[in-house]
Amino acid sequence: MKFNLTLPLKSPQIALALAIGTGGGLAFSLLGLPLPWMLGAMFASFLAVIVKVPLQGPGGLRPYVMPVIGIMLGAGFDTQTFSHLQEWAFSLIGLVIYIAVAAALVVPLYIKIGRLDPVTAFFSAMPGGLNEMTIIGGELGGDEKRIILSHAARIVVTVSFIAVYFRLVLGYNVASAAVPSGTQVAFDFKSGAILLSCAVLGWVLGKALKLPAAPLLGPLILSAIAHMTGISHSAPPPVLVICSQIILGTMMGCRFMGAPSKLIVETLVLSAIATTVMLAVSLGFAVSLHSMFGQTTQQVLLAYAPGGLTEMSLVAIAMNGDVAYIALHHLARIVILIAIAPSILSWLAIRLRR
């Protein structure tokens, strides 16, 4: 297995995109807005794309950024996490029901209002991993460009809504997402060596095992094991996490690059409607069932919200939530959707022929 360790920063367009993203993050930070470094970079780069600034997304940096986020999320696990797994069983069962309800409401919306074919509609609507849904949807005959734009829009809408909702409605200080609560910010050679080992070995193992979102999930798993067993109590340096969020936000904003303006507007509008429906269902589950799950309404909302694993976990860190609970649910949702997608599509195709 070979990895290209040459950082892909040769293009002036990539440097410009990162500069714009950094400026957006700094502006959001100075204004005290929620999740400033990720959301600021995302909105600044998105606006630059809309006005046709010649950018190139820093997608080549993704394999280097994801392990940093992965070990940071793994730092949200602790020695008590094992004892909570049985308590989360009802919540995970509820997640399966939530996926079914969301599919029943949103897939027809994409078909009837968006006029998309069933395959494209399903993989555009379902809140699985962006890469996984795009790859599988394309292999099954879906429109990859529409699928990836729909998921990019879904994540943008979800993260923006959740961050603003927690800040303005619930009063949480969602100002930053530097390190999980309870971890050591102090960084020495031993803690750095442990986390670096989790990042590198996790990256290699994730690729070898063909895990979904391997550069993120592999380091996350090893970091979680290190923190659950008490080997480590540290998180990556905040400045490294902030840089990773800027790159991540810039990548999200640049995903719309090259798409016609009409297609972007249509996708944003449709995704905004669909995402609002899914968020409403998420909130309904959170309000109705949080007591049964033994969680707060906010925790369940973050666990069920149709955002990405990385993005919603960063929100969880920013509000001092239970990262282990929230990350596990988002990972479970991705695995469930990948596993059941072919069966659902076969059933959907039969129904549509009638």
How do residues 48-74 score in pLDDT, each as one tens digit? 988 888 888 887 887 788 888 888 778
| 72 close to 236: Cβ distance less than 8 angstroms | yes
| 161 close to 35: Cβ distance less than 8 angstroms | no
Domain ranges of the chain: 76-172+180-233+259-353
Q: Quickly count: other Cβ atoms within 10 Å of residue 244's Cβ.
A: 23
Say which residue, 240 or 273, is predicted with more confidence: 273
Task: Please check the confidence at residue 94 and state whether its pLDDT lies above 90.
Answer: yes
pLDDT at 93: 93
What percent of the chain lies above the pLDDT cut of 70? 82
The mean pLDDT value of the chain amounts to 80
Q: Average of pLDDT values for 165-184?
A: 60
CA distances to 46, 69, 206, 317 from 321, in Å: 28, 16, 26, 6
- Type of residue numbered 254: C
